[in-house]
Each structure stands twice: as structure tokens, then as C-alpha cells.
Structure 1
Amino acid sequence: MAKSNESSLNRLQSISPVWNMLFSVFLILLGITIIVPLILVVIISFTSAESIAFNGYSFFPSSFTAYAYQNLAYTGTQLLNSYLITIFYAVAGTFLTLLVTSLFSFSIAQRKFRARRALTFFAFFTMLFSGGLVPAYIINVTYLHLNDTVWIFLLPGLISAWYAIMLRTFIQSSVPETLFESAKIDGANDLLVYFRIALPLMKAGLATIGLFVLVGKWNDWFTGMLYIKKASLVPLQTLLQRIQNNLQFIKQNADFASSPEGMEMLRNLPTESMRMAITVIVTLPILFVYPYFQRYFIQGITIGSVKG
């Protein structure tokens, strides 16, 4: 391990200072391109609609106001409902996906498990060949009747072959198999070994996969668009997508916009500052969750370096 660390240090020291400086400048510029739009979104959410109409987007608006957030707090009943249901979808879906995926990964990581090669092949096969959108829709709606239910967000993504193989590789490379064998010699069954030994040692891998799954489920608008019609079950991203579609429809149809129906739709649609406020509210949960997962990322790197 000492030899490996020494060689890694030598490789880092052999890099030219000029390349280090250029790489640092590149990372700074990349960070600016990511942070500046976020700052602009936050500023616009506190800008009055009149200021946006006359001056456009600006980092220094003529007037600041919290009207967008106040209006959302008092009139955003559908927004609040979609926000809460999205939190449920994301948290429950991530928990169930991690549970089932980790159980499957733990099984195929056991070298003495006879069916592990066949199960690994079936999992890998689904990564290469998918059933497609139309068969999935027919199965979910016609046979399973999952449309307009919360289960459409939980059951179809209950296990991911890609994450299962990733987690299997993590278990085989970071968790000593002798621990499992010692526990079984002491009389522990497979479930006890999984919950008492394997699961605590998989925290770094589960945190990495969990963050990907959580972000994916939080940003999932396509599932709601296909399967959800009930207003009480519409997730937040699908609601925002419908609002955006309505705005584009009105902009592309001037005659409809001047009609009574179009004017009524315009009155019900959020203003530019309100849409930016919604964007800020949507982004906040992920920003708060990421620091919690970061320590497990570092722990995973440490595990890999110690084993090396």
C-alpha cells in the first residue's frame, strides 16, 4: 500500500505546473458557468414582473420583491400538493430501489451461489436490450393497472440492472468475503449476514447509487406525463412541464391568446418571477441532500485506497 501511495504521489509531482494552472483555470471557469445561472435564477425570483417586462433579466434589477414566494405560499395549492407527493415518490422510491437492488447485488456477489452467473447474465442482458416504451406502457396500464396510482413511480424502477452490477462490483472489491463465511460458520443465515454485516459495509456504495436514484426520481417528469391524470398525484416536474407547454402553446397561437379562453389561461399561469421561484424551490432539496451523501463518497474512496 505504501508503494502504491508513493507511486501516486510521484505521478502527481511529475505533472507540469503549467498544466496544473491551466486545469485549475478550466475548473474555475466551469464552476462559474454553473454557479452564475443559478445566481441569476435566484435574483429573478426576487424581481418584480414589471421590472422583468421593462428591463429583462438582470443581475441588478430596479426593484426587489418577495411577491413570487408570497403568492406561491397563498395560492400554490396544486404546487404544494405536487411538492409533497414528489418528496414521497423520491424518498420511498429511493429506499425501495436501494433495498431490492442491494439484496440482488449481495446474492450475485456470493461466489458460492450457484445461480449467480445466470442471474448476472439476465441482469446484463436487460442493459443491452430493453423491451421498449410501448410494451412497458401496455404492461403497466393494461395488465398491471398502475396508471393513476402511486405504484407507477415505485414498482417499475424497483431494481436497476446497472446499479445492481455496480454494487456487486463494490461488494466484491471492498467487502472481504471471509467476513460472510465467518458469520455463516457462527450460525448466521443469509438475511442476518446481509443486514448485520454486508449492509453497514455497503454504505459508501449505497450512498453513491442512492444519490443517483434520488436525483433521477426527483427530476422524473416523463412517468407522470404518461400515466398520471389525477391532479392529486401529479409530481412537481410534470406540473412544471405542463405549465411550460401551456406557455409555449399560447406564444405560438396569437389568436388563441387574444380569446377569452386564452386570457383566462394566461391569468392562471405563473409569472416569470414565480416560475423562477418554483425553480429555486425545486432545486433546494437536492442542494441540501448532497452534503449528507458527500461524506460517504469520501469514505468509499478511503476504502478503495486502503484495500489497494
Structure 2
Amino acid sequence: MSTNASKATSNPFNAVSPTANSLINIFFIIYSLCCIIPLLLIFMVSLSNEQDVVTLGYSFFPKQFDLSAYKFLMEDWKQIVTSYGVTVFVTVIGTVISVVLMALYAYPISRTDFPHRKFFTFFIFFTMLFNGGLVPWYLVYVNMLHLKDNIWALILPLLVSAFFVLIIRTFFQTTIPTAVLESAKIDGAGEIRIFFQIVMPLSLPVIATVALFSVVNYWNDWFLSLVFIADDKTISIQYLMYKMLLNIQYLSTNSNAASAIAAAGGQVSFPNETVRMAMAIMGIGPIVFAYPFFQKYFVKGLTVGAVKG
């Protein structure tokens, strides 16, 4: 009997053979390289000379290192710092409020004793299928909420995602033990206390996952700045980069504008390809550090949320 038990322990049902394990490792190594190599190429091209890129194409090994693209972008460094500040504020505040609101909505519809949970579940699901359209959406924020040129116009439209609400609801239903909630009620805890002191700590994996996606959504957004913001002091870094790229393309293709700039003694030759890559690096640089931060909470959440005997 003990021999059979030891065999079962040494050869579990879901064990992976050494060959399969090697193939899986090779696959993920190749997949990781496919993710890293393009980023490395973008970074190296951003450090290349514009003329070399136009003549020789993209290369991992620049013929000569040149920081002209970054110098060009940093000519208006005050605006870049301002836009970075706006984006960081919007990302942090928006993510915190967004996660709390979506969790607060998902919690009651995950409870079987909530009488109207089917209605509110359908209500949030309906918004995934239909919306009011762009014009009514714009009029609500501008005419009713008066958020034109307001930094909250960059936060409110992305606060709630029906898809993430349903994900959080499913996690609550399948992971949070009902016995834990009932025990808390017996001990005299109210719903608010149960939610913040029991449900949220046990739900760190899904909260961290949703928060990471919210961070990426807020950080990468440029459309809201385009629609609602006219003041340069309130635009996001992504929209600033977008405007700069459009200006470069316009000046590169419009000979009259280039002639006027030359007559005024301004710069006529603008880096194009290298500036694109430098913009990508400046845009994604800070957000790259977000994933390791949330990864720590993935592990912590899995440990805290484990059901222990």
C-alpha cells in the first residue's frame, strides 16, 4: 500500500515529462524574445542617426549613436513634464476609483441573497452590447457635466468597464467562501465592513489584474484629450506625442510651411523615423515598471486568498 502511495506521489497525474517541459521552456523563451526584440529594436533606432535610418533602414547596431530625436522632443521639456504629471495623476486616481467602483458594483450582484442581482447584472451586461453613440456621449460630458477642459474628463469616461465588472463578480462567486461571509455577519460585521475587510483582501489577484488593465487603459489614452481638452496644460503625454508627430508630418510634407519656417530662421529638417521610436520609448517607459509592481500583489493575493484547512 505504501509502495503504491509513493508511486502516486512520485508520478502525479498531472506531471509533465522532461521532454514536454523542455519544449514548453523553449516555447516561452522564443515567445519572450519575440516580445523583447521589437522593444530593443525601437530603442536602438531611437538612438540612431536619422539619415542612417533613411538610407540603411532599421538596425540593432546603429552606424553612429545620435540623441537628436530625444533632444528634439526635449526642446519643449516643460510641456512634456506637465503632460507626464497629468498622465500620472489621471492614471493613479482613475485606477484607484475605477477598481473600487467596479468591485462595489460586482459584490452585490455576486451575492445569491441579493434580490435584484439578475436585473443589475443584465443592466451592466447591456452596456457591452449597445451604447448611446459618440454625440450623446460627448454632450453628456460637456453640456450636462461641464467637463470641457477639465482633468476629470480624462478620468470619468474610463471609470467602469462592464467586462471587468463581470470578471470581478465571477471571482467573488467562485472564490469567496460563503461561510466566511456568514461568520462575519454572525460576529456583527456590516456589509461595508465585510466588503473592505474580508472580500477585498481575499480578492487581491483579480483586483490587481483589473487594476493593471486600468493602468494601461488610462496611460495609453489619447482620445479623451483630443475630444475634451483644448488647454495644453491638461493634455496627456500620449496626446502630446500624437500632436508632435502630426506637426512633424505636416511640416515634412508641406513645402510652404517649411519655407516660412526657414525664412524665419527656424529648423527645417526634422527627424521623423527616429522621433517616432523615441516617442514610443518615452510613452511606454514608465508603464513598463507597472507590471512588476502588480506582480508582487498577484503572489501576495494568491497567498492571502488561499483557503487553509
TM-score higher than 0.5: yes
Partner of 1:197: 198
The change in CA–CA distance for 1:297 and 1:9 in structure 2 (over 3 A counts) is: farther
Matched residue, 2:256: 256
Q: Which residue of 1 aligns with 2:13?
A: 10
Q: What's 2:212 paired with?
A: 211
Alignment partners' CA distance in 1, 2:259 and 2:138: 36
What pairs with 1:147-166 in structure 2 (closer than 5 Å)?
147-166=148-167
**Mapped pair 1:146 → 2:147:** yes
CA contact (8 A) 1:243 1:269 kept: no
* Counterpart position of 1:105: 106
Q: Identify which range, 297-306 or 103-112, moves more after superposition.
A: 297-306
| CA distance 1:183–1:247, change in 2 (3 Å) | same
- RMSD of equivalent CA atoms: 3.2
Query: Which residue pairs with 1:79 in the alignment?
Result: 80
Deviations 1:179-230 (A, max 9, x none): 2222122221111111111111111110000001110111111111111111
- SS of the residue corresponding to residue 61 of structure 2 reads coil
**Letter aligned with residue 236 of structure 1:** I
- Matched residues in 2 for 1:35 and 1:178: separation? 45
Task: Quote how far apart the aligned CAs of 1:173 are.
Answer: 1.0
Q: 1:202 to 1:186 in 2, by over 3 A?
A: same
Q: Percent identity?
A: 36
> In the alignment, is the contact (CA less than 8 A) between 1:224 and 1:234 conserved in 2?
yes
Match of 2:3 in 1: none
Secondary structure of 1:76's match? Answer: helix
Partner Cα distance (1:258, 1:73) in 2? 21
Q: 1:268 to 1:61 in 2, by over 3 A?
A: closer
1:187 to 2:188 alignment: yes
User: C-alpha separation between the residues in 2 aligned to 1:206 and 1:75?
Assistant: 38
Q: Distance in 1 between matches of 2:206 and 2:120?
A: 20
TM-score (norm 1): 0.83
Aligned to 2:157, what secondary structure does the other structure show? Answer: coil
Match of 1:240 in 2: 241
CA distance in 2, matches of 1:135, 1:141: 10
Structure 1: state its 5+ residue gaps.
none
In the alignment, which residue of structure 1 is the partner of 2:4? none
* Matching residue of 2:48: 47
